[in-house]
Structure 1
Amino acid sequence: MNNIPVIALDFAGKEEALQLLKWFPDEKLAVKIGMELYYAEGPSIVTAIKAMGHDVFLDLKLHDIPNTVKKAMERLAGLGADMVNVHAAGGQAMMEAALEGLDKGTSLGQKRPLCIAVTQLTSTTESQMQKEQMIQGSLSESVLHYGKLAKTAKLDGVVCSVHEAYDIHKRVGMDFLTVTPGIRLADDEKGDQKRIATPSEARKQTSDFIVVGRSITEAADPRAAYHTILREWERAL
């Protein structure tokens, strides 16, 4: 995937997603298809958007027993998505099984989708993690632990907040991808995200990919909003 901003297509159905993409008739984009859109439309939404020439991050956050995740990834590999993910909390064996499934399901001569692991959701606060997940320690320590576990399982990277990206690269490796949601322009509403950042802050913290949703999809002019974010992301190099 090109490391341009990834647009989160968090829509209820195909028509809304395609309507958004009409704002970009001559551009190759990177987009995220999450659970809401995928469960509404099924695999056809992935193949339809890939046929338009866009890169796809299929964000289904698989978390199950290793054999189930392996078989699911084998099926997902055939859809042509460029990136998929699992929950790191599923453990090393599950993450290794995910890669096995992807390798098995990827057609000969095709590139295996990147596989990354969700560490802690950007909607999770440290106090929530400690009280509800019973993880005693800091949020950053938990994210780093999951990052190291994903690296051991030979995954390509992690989903984390911007605020952990630099530490992940420093402690796990610069070639280990950090995909960072929770991106907003400075004047935008936070929504339900807690650990947010601007595109320039993300670049300075060494994020490899930023995922942007409502700042683009709810803008009066989504194309203009996207290019504002893209310019800020590129200027921070």
Structure 2
Amino acid sequence: MRDLYIALDFKTEPELWDFMENFQDQSAAFKVGMSQFYMSGPEIVWKLAAMGHKVFLDLKCHDIPNTVYLAMRQLSQLPVELITVHTLGGPAMLKAAVKGAKEGPYQPKVLGITQLTSTDQNMLTEDLHIQQSVEESVLDLAQMAQKTGLDGVVSSALEVKKIKAATNGELLALTPGIRLAEDTSDDQSRVASPSQAKANGADYIVVGRPITQAKDPLAAYQNYLKEWQGE
């Protein structure tokens, strides 16, 4: 099933749970990122799971291999579907992440961050001094993820087709930076609509502010879900 994960990024606990009131009678899938996890702790994962929701824990681990192994081992004790690491950590770190994720009871799928959707060509070349196109960098990192045993990668929807081709369709693809045509792009540089992501072969998408900051969050979610599932 193609899941649409709603990104939970709130400043306070009351704001978070006020928002979740919209989903009392609607099971959904939620992304818990760094800011939300640092504020709410592991308890948020257990609460969301108890409410019948799926959880994607997006902590983007990036450290020496042993530290990432230990982190993944701990995170796999939580009822989550997906967890993330930065592919820029290199092969040894990625292998350690996979090993750690398999040692917990939930064994979540491990996805590798390629290039963030806020990264454009100017940043890559001028600021990071990486002398590749964004697309070339993403494909290289995706192939590294495949070789080291990751389940999938995170990229913009614009690169999904080529990632699937470069990895023989073996990697799952999750795409943030999803916006409907009428939405603003906020601080995302490489955005796409749910239908574009689907057409390109994405397996999961993430939508944040267009749902969490909508006047009617449940209606906004259902609009995105309708386009994503092609109903």
Kindly state the Cα deviation for residue 175 of structure 1 after the two structures are TM-superposed. Answer: 3.3
Give the corresponding residue for 1:121. Answer: 116
Q: Deviations over 1:93-142 (max 9, x none)?
A: 101101111112x12xxx41010000000000011011222110110000
Question: Which residue type is aligned with residue 16 of structure 1?
Answer: E
Q: 1:97 to 1:164 in 2, by over 3 A?
A: same
> How does 1:73-112 map onto structure 2 within 5 Å?
73-104=72-103, 106-107=104-105, 111-112=106-107
Q: Percent identity of the aligned residues?
A: 45
SS at match of 2:122: helix
Kept after mapping to 1: 8 A contact 2:177/2:188? yes
Give the corresponding residue for 2:33. Answer: 34
- Are 1:150 and 2:145 an aligned pair? yes
- Are 1:171 and 2:166 an aligned pair? yes
Kindly state the Cα deviation for residue 3 of structure 1 after the two structures are TM-superposed. Answer: 1.9
Q: With structure 2 as the length reference, what TM-score do the two structures score?
A: 0.97
Question: Which residue type is aligned with residue 222 of structure 2?
Answer: H
Q: With structure 1 as the length reference, what TM-score do the two structures score?
A: 0.94
Separation in structure 2 between the aligned mates of residue 188 and residue 204 of structure 1, nearest angstrom:
19
Kindly state the Cα deviation for residue 88 of structure 1 after the two structures are TM-superposed. Answer: 0.2
> How does 1:1-237 map onto structure 2 within 5 Å?
2-104=1-103, 106-107=104-105, 111-235=106-230
Kept after mapping to 1: 8 A contact 2:3/2:203? no
Kept after mapping to 2: 8 A contact 1:183/1:197? yes
Separation in structure 1 between the aligned mates of residue 43 and residue 100 of structure 2, nearest angstrom:
20
Kindly state the Cα deviation for residue 26 of structure 1 after the two structures are TM-superposed. Answer: 2.1
Kept after mapping to 1: 8 A contact 2:69/2:96? yes
Kindly state the Cα deviation for residue 17 of structure 1 after the two structures are TM-superposed. Answer: 2.2
Separation in structure 1 between the aligned mates of residue 99 and residue 181 of structure 2, nearest angstrom:
41
Unpaired stretches in structure 2, ≥5 consecutive residues: none
SS at match of 2:102: helix
Separation in structure 2 between the aligned mates of residue 73 and residue 153 of structure 1, nearest angstrom:
15
Kept after mapping to 2: 8 A contact 1:14/1:45? no
Separation in structure 1 between the aligned mates of residue 26 and residue 182 of structure 2, nearest angstrom:
26
User: Any runs of at least 4 consecutive aligned residues in structure 1 with deviations exceeding 4 A, and if so which?
Assistant: none
